[in-house]
Chains A and B, each alone.
Chain A
Amino acid sequence: MAIIKAVTITILTFGAITMIIPFIWSIITALKSTENIFSHSAFWIQFPPDFSSFAEVWNRVPILRYAANTLKVALIVTAGQLLTSSMAGYAFAKLKFPGRDKLFLFYLATMMVPGTVLLIPNFVVMGFLGAVDTHWALILSAIGSTYGTFLMRQFFLTFPSELEDAAKLDGCNPLTFYWRILLPNAKPILTTLGLMAFQFIWNDFQWPLIVLNSESKRTLQVGLSYLTSEYYTDWNLLMASSIFTILPIIILFFIVQKQFVQSFKLSGLKG
């Protein structure tokens, strides 16, 4: 048993180091002065560290604007997705109406459609709506989610029907029941779905790359991607910019770690 444990820890440590080294090395690089990037070996660490690459990125790149754009879109999408998904999930789970189960099956089927197929037609639809190169293009297509609906429905199905009957006797209509009783009792699943949506929008790249043109509208990821053609091999600046985009989501991760883990487990339901 002791041998197994030792082998386990060795493998896990080796793996964990492989996972962490790229991050460490990007921090080490970001703290080097430009003239020291190529003149020293990779293992050399500059001391005292030079923070000027962070300052330079901060001053030369509208990183605050990119972050504000991303945050705005991510917050609106998260709120919208929580509202529409929980409403639809409630209807699919608890309200009876003709065609309900057929419609739900149809929803499940659409989850099989790969995103690649939707990119081109969605771009055209955004063109019809006049939403290309606006943040509406990022918001509209994301505020209704079949996956979120599925998740909320599964959760609401487990909701005790006694509460529902009691509420009905007290004269609650479905709207007041949904708003006053169902939502306050669904906080864990709402947090989980919210984190998933937020994280997805924060890190999304291909769709914003396609629909946004103006520099002032770029999200963090798109802005970061364009930097590669500007900074080319100024690795300290590129690493500093990467750290700027990763840091907020890592901080968020440590604050709500438990829910994050839950959201990834649940994303296993997808497909």
Chain B
Amino acid sequence: MDIALTLKKARKASTFSKTKTKEAIWGYLFITPNFLIVLVFTIFPVFFSLYMSTTDWNILSQPNFIGLENYQKILGDSIARQTLFNTFYFTVVSVPLNVAFTLVLAVLLNQKIRGITVFRTAYYLPVISASVAVSLMFMWILANNGLANQMLTSIGLQPVRWLTDPKIALNSVIGVTIWRGLGLNMIIFLAALQDIPHELIEAAAIDGANAVQRFIKVIVPLISPVIFFVTITSVIGSFQSFDLVYNMTKGGPGRATTVIGYYIWQQAFNYLHMGYGAALAYVVFAAILILTLIQWVLRKRWVYSEE
């Protein structure tokens, strides 16, 4: 009797573990194709790049291990310092402006107005347009005899050398970056706004809050987690910007618009300083991690209820 029961249990357990192993095998099989690609083109490169940054590799000759020399070189590289400064400037100007504009836009677009989809589509178009085409359009608009200057002179103002004046060029690139990025963050905010219960806004209105007060006191706190998220992704994106600079200014005039993404490309693929380029990329990685960490710590001060 007892033996029979134990046998039965044992058999049950073994078929159970058999189906369990079978399921595990299926699991590994299903993951393998995706995991192989991620392993070879994301996980391995992260470590390989760290190794490369400790070599003097230039593709043409064998790599030699040189320890932290590349990182020391960055400290003494005045161009690297300027491009890092340009990148910080780029981020500090473009991210807050982008977040402010897109937030206001999203609130305005989150209303029942006739033809609202036409507006939304208009703000989207730049997002789906390729960066190269956008660069070409704005090179022509910002050319010395382009649309922007013709508009200025037609109302009696002096023309501006948008892309060739070293004091102005970086701001022009920032302007185009903001123009192109409005639609993307706008749609994320719009999605967040649509999740806010109507009753909350109406209650605030009944309590006498006007539109501006409702925006600052009710809407902004409610979607602050999304604002936090958008800020972080925008900072990360901003540190990697390349396309517009490459196509519109080639980093010039002089080094005025060289951001770190462009400088890394130049070091690695123009001068073939692969090791030095990898070290610069790791500096970007570290900067992004530190900035994200700072924002993460600061979020407790302003991001609403995130327990």
Contact = CB atoms under 8 A, between A and B. Distances in A.
A15 B105 contact: yes
Interface string A229-263: 00001010011011101100110010001001100
Interface stretch (B40-48, B75-83, B91-99): B40-48
Contact of A144 (B34, B129, B265): B34
B153 to A, nearest CB: 10
B133 interface: yes
Contacts of B168: none
Q: Per DSSP, are chain B's interface residues mostly helix, strand or loop, or mixed?
A: helix
A105 interface: no
Interface string A159-181: 00000000000000111001000
B239 A114 contact: yes
B52 interface: yes
Given A221-B132, A238-B136, A117 B127 contact: no
Contact of B34 (A26, A149, A203): A149
A144 B41 contact: yes
Contacts of A5: 111, 113
A43 B24 contact: no
A167 to B, nearest CB: 13
Please tell me the size bucket of the interface on B: 35 or more
A95 B108 contact: no
A92 B129 contact: no
A103 B150 CA distance: 58
A117 B49 contact: yes
A199 B128 contact: yes
Interface string B190-215: 11000000000000000000010000
Contact of A110 (B43, B118, B229): B43
Interface residues of A, number: 96
A158 interface: no
Nearest to A96: B23
B220 interface: no
Contacts of B292: 112
Nearest to A205: B243
A20 B129 CA distance: 12
Given A16-B119, A178-B30, A117 B282 contact: yes
A171 to B, nearest CB: 13
Contacts of A4: 211
A101 to B, nearest CB: 12
A122 B109 contact: no
A56 to B, nearest CB: 16
B54 to A, nearest CB: 13
B285 interface: yes
A117 B37 contact: no
B171 interface: no
B133 A141 contact: no
B130 A144 contact: no
A119 B265 contact: yes
A154 interface: no
Contact of A264 (B40, B113, B188, B260): B188
17 contacts: A8-B111, A16-B119, A23-B137, A26-B136, A42-B151, A88-B33, A118-B49, A119-B264, A121-B49, A123-B269, A124-B48, A141-B37, A144-B33, A235-B140, A238-B140, A249-B128, A268-B187
Interface of B: 20, 23-28, 30-31, 33-38, 40-46, 48-49, 52, 105, 108-109, 111, 113, 118-134, 136-141, 143, 145-147, 150-151, 179, 182-184, 187-188, 190-191, 211, 226, 229-230, 232-233, 236, 239-240, 242-243, 246-247, 260-261, 264-265, 268-269, 274, 277-278, 281-282, 284-285, 288-289, 292
Given A42-B150, A121-B278, A224-B136, 10 more contacts: A19-B122, A84-B34, A87-B33, A110-B46, A118-B45, A118-B46, A173-B26, A205-B131, A242-B132, A261-B187
